[in-house]
Amino acid sequence: MIADIISKLKNKEISALELTKSYLNKIESENPDINAFITVTNDSAIKEASNVDDLISKSENLDELFSKMPLLGIPLAHKDIFSTKDVKTTAASKILEDYIPVYDATVVSKLKSSGGISLGKLNCDAFAHGATGENSDFGPTKNPYDKSRVAGGSSSGTGAAVASEMVVFATGTDTGGSLRNPASFTNTVAIKPTYGRVSRYGIFAMSSSLDSIGHITTSAEDSALVLSQTAGFDPFDATTSKHPVENYLENIGADIKGKKIGIVKEYLSDEIDSEILEKTKSAINIYEKLGAEIIDISLPNSEYALASYYVITLSEVSSNLARFDGIRFGFDRDKFGDEAKRRIMIGTYALSAGFYDEFYVKAQKVRTLIIQDFKKAFEKVDAILAPVSPVMPPKIGEVVDDPMKNYLMDILTVPVNLAGLPALSLPCGFSSKGLPVGIQLIGDHFSEKNLYNLGYNFERISK
């Protein structure tokens, strides 16, 4: 918990340098096997930690200092699609193997200003294309709970690094489940904020109308603290909202008695793994014990969400990857991996003359219907509870060569992105084989504070 670390730093029970070195040592011992990091920034991290210790030692009012810099001294890492000044940023693709940005992404800058210490850049599916982490040109990330299995994707390194305690928290992106999926597979907590809640500036775009910038932590409380630092309007990103940023920690432990939680009948079909269904129903029972009212709801257009999502996503991917031509930076396009090439070809086809109306426009119409479904649902409920993944973490190599199986792993998460809604992924137990299982709480736009309240109360009972 971040609060515990901050308390120890304030009381001089541990120094930022000692803390940072302990996490760097963990990376040195664990990462060769797990492959969560692409780049480790030892020297700069140690320098930053020393500066933090100087700041603490010279401060006359530590409460005021930590109030201004709530993440002071906290070790973190960034998914390798976040631009980091003077630090290699590859997007896990050989086409950018030697690319070093000259500026920081807005989220990177905000976390620096909050006092966080970056330990490096994390592995992911190349350009965030995938649900298992196996599309990385630098090798797959392994699941710390079973190293023969994937850690989820595309933010595979983000989930694995937090789960194996190589960092306190880590950033990532969620376009169709890319944070919630790894969190579910690694027994961690992920937030996919409302679209536009957190700036996308300086982060390689996958699908510009769907990408959400979030993070993975070990608790809802930590997640709330981090979001309070990253959220907000950014003049460099026209899609960010000026909606006020709430104090997500305020009343996080308040009683949830009387809150209405919706259960989507379409999300609990027989196609979902039986143990995941069992754990989801156990989570529903916990909320009932906490005094929440459980209400059955329907999202009838969910069955079309995956088809709509992939038409829109691949179309936007084909556009966003057009800039990678090897002229201004990076290498030639022959360095693109198979999945990037596949997405470029399908997306270009969907946008081509004669097919634009048939595919892209129709997909956008379906997206509108999905948004309307959620709007009707939130007239009745305060949040929706659902599984994150329909399957347990696959074995490495099990689905990566079957695009359809790979894409179907996102079936329960993509509707949230299509509607631009926030969702919080929480651990809810383990399978008979010891594999983590996660649930997601889905909220109306800008209802992150409510999700954290629900998540905090669930953790209090379920842990």
What residues are annotated to the active site? Answer: 79, 154, 178
Token pair for 408:
């179907």
Task: Find out whether 92 and 126 touch, Cβ atoms under 8 Å.
Answer: yes
- CA-wise closest residue to 192 among 437, 415, 459, 431: 415
Query: 92: helix, coil or strand?
Result: coil
Q: What is the Cα–Cα distance from 447 to 425, expressed in whole angstroms? A: 14
User: If you write DSSP's letter for every residue of 405-444 in order, what string do you get?
Assistant: HHHHTTTTTHHHHHHT--EEEEEEEE-TTS-EEEEEEE-S
Q: What is the Cα–Cα distance from 121 to 84, expressed in whole angstroms? A: 9
The total number of residues shown for the chain amounts to 463
Token pair for 456:
């905090």
What single DSSP character describes residue 361?
A: I
Residue 95's CB is within 10 A of a number of other CB atoms, namely 24
Element (H, E) at 458: helix 448-462
- CA-wise closest residue to 446 among 263, 168, 233: 233
Task: Find out whether 128 and 154 touch, Cβ atoms under 8 Å.
Answer: yes
Alpha-helical regions (H) of 187-254? 220-230
Q: What is the Cα–Cα distance from 190 to 394, expressed in whole angstroms? A: 20
- The CA–CA distances, whole Å, from 126 to 131, 298, 445 equal 11, 35, 29
